[in-house]
Every structure is written in C-alpha cells, then in structure tokens.
Amino acid sequence: MKNIAIYYRVSTERQDLASQKTTIEKWLEDLPKDRRPEKIYEFQDEGFSGKTFNRPRFKDMLEIAFARRIDTIVVYKLDRFSRNASDAIKTILSLDEVGVAFVSVTQPVLNLGHENPFRRTMLSAFAEIAEIERETIVARVRSGLEAAKKRGIKLGPPVKIDEDMQTKVRELRNSGFTIKSIAAELNISVGATHKIIKAAEESFKQLEND
C-alpha cells in the first residue's frame, strides 16, 4: 500500500464517527513499517444512508480510485461502504480491475489487500455472485421492457444506441459509476446515458407492480 483512501460514514447523529477513526488509526499503527502507506486520503460523509451511492465524498473517493491515484480503499466495516452487499461486491470488483484493493479492518474475511494470498480466490467468488445477479437483472429488465411494449409504452433511448450499449451502461451503473463517467467511458452523450438508466429504473418499477 502506497496511496490509500480511508472512508468514514455515519447516517445519524447517534452513530459514533470517533470509534471508526480510532479503530482504523489503530489498524494503521499495527501495520509493519514496510507496509504503512506513504499517503492517506480521508473521505467522510455524515447524514447519508449506505443504501445509496449518491454520497458526495463517496463519489469523490471513487473518482480518484478509478483515476488510479490510490491503490487501496480502507473502511471500518463493509456497511460503511455500502449497505447493499450486492452493490458493494460489484464496486469492489470494478475497483480491482483498475488495481485498487479493498480492506475492511474489522472483518478479516474482507481484507482484500494486495498482500493477501487469498485475495484472488475471494474476488473470484465475488465475480461468480455478481454474474448470477447480472443475469437475473438482465432477464428481469428484458421481461419488463417486453411487458411495457405490449401495453404500448415506449421506453428507452433513441434507436441508434443498440441493446449491447444499453447493457454496458446498466452494468457500469450497477458497479457504482456516475452518469458522467459512464458517458465518457462509452463515448456517448450524458443525456443518452441518463435516458438508458431512467428507462431501466422504470422497467423495474413496472415489473414489480405487475
């Protein structure tokens, strides 16, 4: 670990941010000298639920992570990162693709630091879980779109954005990417990206109401 980001989150005033900081500081102190980070970035969100990725400092952290300015993200516990385990797994896998590791200091099984010999095994298991869910989501989205078409409801972006591109947009969104970063990654407009994501969300709502 050379450059790390530490992320803290509390959703209510009753939660204790100090205990998170104390635990992580102790974890850093206990690291062997040759493994201690050279640079530490700290990000903190207060009053935000872990059920959403729409947290200002969380998004700032992901931005520098995907820009490869850090090599590890450290949290007190996984639910500080995200309360949705599925979203957390997808994001951890996306971070791994750009060389950023993940460490939960109070959960040894989630110590996915670069030095962990079992890191690849754990990430492979996460990938299998994510793929199963992805296939389920794709099937549900297609089912929802077909049901909407039968009712005469027009959904989705202009025809020039093909189904393969739409699937890529949804996958990146599920992995925690922002609308702007998705548009830049796939070289499409922000407006088109927003329409694809909105259409997918509407499809899920309609499917759940059927």
Average of per-residue pLDDT across 105-121: 79
Answer with the one of 116, 145, 173 that is the final residue of a domain.
Answer: 116
Answer with the one of 116, 133, 159 that is the final residue of a domain.
Answer: 116
Most confident of 67-81, 85-99, 127-141, 167-181: 67-81
Cα–Cα dist 33/112, whole Å? 19
Phi, psi of 10 (to 5 degrees): -135, 140
| Same domain, residue pair 14 and 108 | yes
Q: Which amino acid, one-letter code, is at 121?
A: T
CA atoms within 13 A on the CB side of 118: 8
| Same domain, residue pair 7 and 111 | yes
CB atoms within 10 A of CB 26: 10
Which percentage of the chain shows pLDDT scores above 90?
A: 29
| Same domain, residue pair 108 and 129 | no
Nearest to 111 by CA among 58, 75, 65, 61: 75
Looking at residue 143, its pLDDT comes to 75
Tens of pLDDT, residue by residue over 137-167, are 677 777 776 776 666 555 554 546 788 888 8
Average of per-residue pLDDT across 12-17: 72
Answer with the one of 86, 116, 146 that is the final residue of a domain.
Answer: 116
Provide the token pair at 44. 């903190």
Nearest to 169 by CA among 155, 182, 156, 187: 182
| Same domain, residue pair 112 and 18 | yes
Average of per-residue pLDDT across 1-17: 85
Looking at residue 24, its pLDDT comes to 95
Name residue 6's beta-bridge partners. 42, 74
For residue 148, the enclosing domain spans 125-209
**Window from 51-60, 82-91, 116-125, 155-164 with minimum mean pLDDT:** 155-164
| Same domain, residue pair 12 and 110 | yes
Rg (CA), the chain: 19
CB atoms within 10 A of CB 19: 11
